[in-house]
Amino acid sequence: MALRAARKLVLFLWLVRVVVGQDGWSVTYTTQSVCALKGSTVDLSCSYTCPKDHIAKKLFWFNKWTINEPEDLIEDRTYAERVKYIPFKDNSGHTLKITDLNENDSATYWFRFWTNKTGWKYTGKQGVHLSVTELQVEAIHAPVTEGQTFTLTCKSTCNVTGKPTYVWYKNGQHLTNPKTQTNYLHLDRVTSEDSGRYSCAVKGHEDIRSTEENLTVRFRPKNTSVSVSTFEIVKGSSVTLTCSSDANPPVDKYTWYNKNVTLPKASGQSYSITNITSEDSGEYYCEVQNEIGSENSTAVMVIVAVKSSISGNQPSFVTTVAGVTVFVLVLILCFSGFMWFRMKCSKPTPSKTNKADSGQVDPNSIYANVLHKDNTPTVAQTTATNSEQWDSVYANISKEDLTTCAKAAADALT
Ligand SMILES: *[C@@H]1O[C@H](CO)[C@@H](O)[C@H](O)[C@H]1NC(C)=O
Ligand SMILES: *[C@@H]1O[C@H](CO)[C@@H](O)[C@H](O)[C@H]1NC(C)=O
Ligand SMILES: *[C@@H]1O[C@H](CO)[C@@H](O)[C@H](O)[C@H]1NC(C)=O
Ligand SMILES: *[C@@H]1O[C@H](CO)[C@@H](O)[C@H](O)[C@H]1NC(C)=O
Ligand SMILES: *[C@@H]1O[C@H](CO)[C@@H](O)[C@H](O)[C@H]1NC(C)=O
Ligand SMILES: *[C@@H]1O[C@H](CO)[C@@H](O)[C@H](O)[C@H]1NC(C)=O
Ligand SMILES: *[C@@H]1O[C@H](CO)[C@@H](O)[C@H](O)[C@H]1NC(C)=O
Ligand SMILES: *[C@@H]1O[C@H](CO)[C@@H](O)[C@H](O)[C@H]1NC(C)=O
């Protein structure tokens, strides 16, 4: 019985083949549906047969069934230059190539051919369904907090044909070692560094990128530091301490501490101490907090200088040199003023001058003249005109005169 049934089946199959063979008409599409990326190029193919006494002549593709003869795709203006017909070399099949796909190309495409016998044509009824899709990165959960696991998916409206491999980009840069699974990108224990713009593409079509998806990782404050407004902290001055930190979401609470004082001193990003006193000296730090966590900054030392910053410090080299220079200049002025005075007094009897006036001159008046007279002769003039008198005049300046003069110079300095 079984054998008989099997024979019948074989006979039946043979008959079917014979019928098809006799009929001879066929169009077989290589795929039923294709999912392609917008902007890419697709090839839709089929093989066809016709009876031996026919020759397939006019071969074309169309995508709109009409009562009349459908429009050949090559003549469709919306496809313009984008379609190309490529017959198989052995004329057993035909390929429709569409370049620069767009959403409007999503449709079913049929192949039809006419033969050399007038009125004979054949159409593959099934057709190929083409879907054109764009890629889109989608976050599985958002927002994400540091330490969590995060998954992104490269979404498309249809499953891209050809078991594609997905490639991922962060801020436009190719991610070299991502943890992926088909169209998913997994990020384990995210940190703030994982924040960025993510996009994806299909390998082989890297130029067709998805839109970007922002990943913003929320993290507790980091890199918290205190900056001080001035380096010269002097009693009575004002100092502002500013706390800065990296945090997402931004810091919403600041607390200031002075290490010597247990209670929080102030809140707010900046802490100002006006009319500072030495009691305000100490180590200051801030504690920052957002909804994820908190962090303390390292402490900064605030030391209040007791004296004013200039007199409290050692005089610098420049100040010293300047002071000495002024002192010497004043001394010289004293000498020259004194000489001028002596010369004026001794002009009528130059021979007696030295002895007669010695000791009688009030040093204070000399000093007053020197300091207050604008047209005091300079050292050069004095020396030039009275060079022969210089030694004697010099010799006659008393110790008292010199000290007075020096004192005056010193006073002028302070
Ligand atoms: C797609 O079709 C719509 C409606 O006909 C048209 O507005 C749009 O410009 C077409 N897009 C392209 C890329 O041809
Ligand atoms: C069509 O072509 C075939 C094969 O060359 C030929 O045998 C047949 O006569 C042709 N038919 C017509 C109507 O030209
Ligand atoms: C893509 O394929 C997966 C499984 O292979 C299926 O679950 C999903 O529905 C498909 N998506 C579309 C848009 O066809
Ligand atoms: C993503 O972030 C960029 C800047 O980093 C911004 O310009 C853009 O608007 C953001 N996009 C979205 C969808 O949030
Ligand atoms: C903290 O500072 C370091 C070094 O300046 C920097 O590399 C890092 O990105 C910063 N962290 C954040 C969260 O900004
Ligand atoms: C600064 O403080 C001192 C004493 O602490 C006080 O005498 C002085 O008036 C204060 N100055 C100002 C401008 O508040
Ligand atoms: C703060 O404490 C340190 C040591 O604990 C002490 O040397 C310093 O004088 C204190 N400063 C103030 C302003 O109390
Ligand atoms: C910061 O300092 C304060 C006061 O010392 C302390 O209570 C708090 O726990 C510290 N916070 C962190 C995150 O270390």
- Give yes or no for residue 351 having a pLDDT over 50: no
How far is it, in rounded angstroms, from Cα 2 to Cα 12? Answer: 15
**Which residues are CB-neighbours of 126 under 8 A, at least 6 positions away?**
29, 32
In the prediction, which pLDDT does 25 show? Answer: 92
**Which residues are CB-neighbours of 44 under 8 A, at least 6 positions away?**
29, 30, 31, 34, 61, 95, 96, 98, 109, 128, 130
pLDDT tens digit sequence for 275-322: 888 888 889 999 999 999 999 999 999 888 876 544 444 444 444 444
pLDDT tens digit sequence for 224-248: 999 998 878 888 889 999 999 999 9
In the prediction, which pLDDT does 260 show? Answer: 79
229 lines ligand 5 (CB under 6 A): no
Minimum CA distance residue for ligand 4 atom 2: 214
pLDDT tens digit sequence for 82-126: 999 999 999 999 999 999 999 999 999 999 999 999 999 999 999
In the prediction, which pLDDT does 10 show? Answer: 44
pLDDT tens digit sequence for 36-47: 999 999 999 999
**What average pLDDT does the segment 187-211 reach?**
92
In the prediction, which pLDDT does 112 show? Answer: 95
In the prediction, which pLDDT does 115 show? Answer: 93
Binned at pLDDT 50, 70 and 90, residue 263 comes out as low
Share of residues in the chain with pLDDT > 70 (%): 67
Q: In what order do the strands lie in the sheet with 196-202?
A: 173-174, 166-170, 196-202, 213-215
**What average pLDDT does the segment 163-179 reach?**
91
Binned at pLDDT 50, 70 and 90, residue 177 comes out as confident
How far is it, in rounded angstroms, from Cα 356 to Cα 374? Answer: 28
pTM higher than 0.85, yes or no? no
Please give the distance, rounded to the nearest whole angstrom, from the Cα atom of residue 299 to the centre of ligand 8. Answer: 12
Please give the distance, rounded to the nearest whole angstrom, from the Cα atom of residue 114 to the centre of ligand 2. Answer: 13
- Give yes or no for residue 257 having a pLDDT over 70: yes
**What average pLDDT does the segment 323-350 reach?**
55
| Identity of residue 117 | K
Virtual CA dihedral for 145, 147, 148, 153, nearest 10 degrees? Answer: 90
Please give the distance, rounded to the nearest whole angstrom, from the Cα atom of residue 195 to the centre of ligand 8. Answer: 28
Ligand 6 atom, smallest distance to 275 CA: 1
In the prediction, which pLDDT does 140 show? Answer: 83
**What average pLDDT does the segment 138-163 reach?**
89
- Give yes or no for residue 181 having a pLDDT over 50: yes
Mutate to test the pocket of ligand 4, among 192, 213, 214 (most ligand atoms within 8 A of CB): 214
How far is it, in rounded angstroms, from Cα 393 to Cα 382? Answer: 11
Mean pLDDT of all residues in the chain? 77
- Give yes or no for residue 384 having a pLDDT over 60: no
